[in-house]
């Protein structure tokens, strides 16, 4: 069999066996969706785009609500189905949000946190979802309609320091990210040009909790949210990976952490195993023992 116009390597064949698994010979579209999802971003980026059909999505129950997921998405949807997707952060959000609160979900992806939050804040609350991937937006809107969650407000764009545009890498599958520092980024076969707006311009009124998971663009998002952070003082959840922060935001990990201290926030590490919030009073000491720059953790910042 030929994959993407070339014979697959042994490793790629193993990926096909382990990740793609059984295919339906009567449904070539489903077969190609599985193959593209298994290889794009990781092995062989391509210009193929195959959007999901009604038969390609499935329902997952989240605290009594219905979340629509793409059955070919192995990055986020499959771990959600397996119950292994970020249980530590889900526990924190469940414990934090109350009826009437406002939750801002930047990098909403397929809508897991937005749908969960809508149930927690109730009809008197508000959920602001920001997501540049159109396929993810389709899933999120479908979930919101299925659950009659009118409190979800979707912005199909990316957040940054100012209004403009960005180039993101996204093909089949839910994960994507900014392509930074490359003049010919728009020629990347998986590139999409998306609108960008500062969070300060998107959100008005009170904000209680912000979650930002944008593959290294976190510093750019918060640079465009200084009004919200200084005036409204929400609690903040941020994905943290030094390599992506440096490559995408152009910000050193220590400077990123120090920025939160300068904003008069206390920084905590949300432990994946115990779900505990572990204080980080000394960012330099935390980073000295952090290990690989590729390690991904989740931080919770609380206003003083």
Inside any domain, residue 225: yes
Domain assignment present for residue 58? The answer is no
- For residue 98, what is the DSSP state? -
Q: Splitting the chain (304 residues) into consecutive groups of 10 residues, what average pLDDT does each group show?
A: 68 76 80 76 69 93 97 89 96 98 97 98 98 95 98 97 89 67 73 94 97 96 98 98 95 98 98 96 97 97 98
Instruction: Kindly report, residue by residue over 72-100, the tens digit of the pLDDT.
Output: 888 899 899 999 999 999 999 999 999 99
User: For the chain, what is the domain count?
Assistant: 1
Q: What is the pLDDT of residues 147-202, one digit of tens each?
A: 999 999 999 999 999 999 998 877 555 677 777 665 677 887 778 899 999 999 99
Domain that holds residue 273: 73-303
CA distance 169 to 41: 8
Quick check: is 32 in a domain? no
Which pLDDT does position 89 carry in this prediction?
98
Q: What is the DSSP letter of 26?
A: T
Residue 86 lies in a domain: yes
pLDDT of residue 300: 98
Residues 6+ apart with CB under 8 A from 117: 93, 97, 103, 105, 125, 127, 209
Q: Mapping DSSP to helix (H, G, I), strand (E, B) and coil, where does residue 187 land?
A: helix
Cα distance between residue 153 and residue 128, in whole Å: 5
Burial grade of 35 (CB within 10 A; 0-12, 13-18, 19 or more) = buried
Q: Enter the pTM of the model.
A: 0.92
| Residue 20 within any structural domain of the chain | no
**pLDDT at res. 6:** 73
CATH of the domain at 244: 3.40.50.150
Structure tokens that stand for 202 in this block: 């998107």
**Per-residue confidence (pLDDT) for residue 177, from 0 to 100:** 77
Residue 63 resides in a domain: no
Classify residue 24: in a domain, yes or no: no
Is residue 77 a part of any domain in this protein? yes
């Amino acid at each position: 069999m030929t994959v993407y116009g070339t014979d697959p390597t042994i490793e790629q064949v193993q990926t096909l066996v382990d990740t793609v698994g059984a295919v339906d010979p009567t449904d070539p579209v489903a077969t190609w969706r599985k193959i593209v999802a298994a290889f794009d971003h990781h092995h062989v980026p391509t210009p193929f785009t195959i959007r999901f059909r009604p038969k390609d999505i499935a329902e997952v129950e989240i605290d009594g609500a219905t979340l629509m997921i793409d059955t070919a998405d192995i990055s986020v949807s499959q771990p959600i189905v397996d119950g292994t997707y970020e249980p530590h952060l889900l526990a924190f959000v469940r414990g934090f949000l109350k009826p009437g609160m406002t939750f801002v979900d930047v990098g909403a992806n397929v809508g897991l946190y937005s749908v969960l939050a809508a149930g927690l804040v109730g009809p008197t609350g508000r959920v602001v979802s920001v997501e540049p991937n159109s396929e993810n937006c389709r899933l999120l809107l479908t979930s919101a309609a299925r659950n009659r969650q009118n409190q979800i407000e979707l912005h199909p764009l990316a957040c940054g320091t100012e209004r403009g545009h960005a180039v993101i890498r996204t093909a089949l599958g839910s994960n994507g990210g900014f392509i930074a520092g490359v003049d010919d980024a728009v020629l990347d076969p998986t590139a999409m040009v998306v609108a960008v707006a500062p969070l300060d311009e998107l959100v008005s009124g009170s904000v209680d909790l912000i979650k930002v998971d944008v593959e290294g663009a976190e510093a750019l998002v918060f640079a465009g949210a200084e009004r919200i952070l200084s005036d409204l003082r929400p609690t903040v959840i941020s994905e943290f990976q030094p390599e992506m922060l440096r490559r995408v935001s152009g910000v050193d990990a220590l400077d990123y952490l120090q920025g939160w201290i300068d904003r008069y926030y206390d920084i905590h590490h949300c432990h994946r195993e115990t779900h505990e919030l572990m204080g980080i009073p000394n960012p330099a000491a935390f980073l000295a023992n952090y290990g690989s720059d590729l390690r991904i953790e989740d931080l919770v910042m609380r206003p003083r």
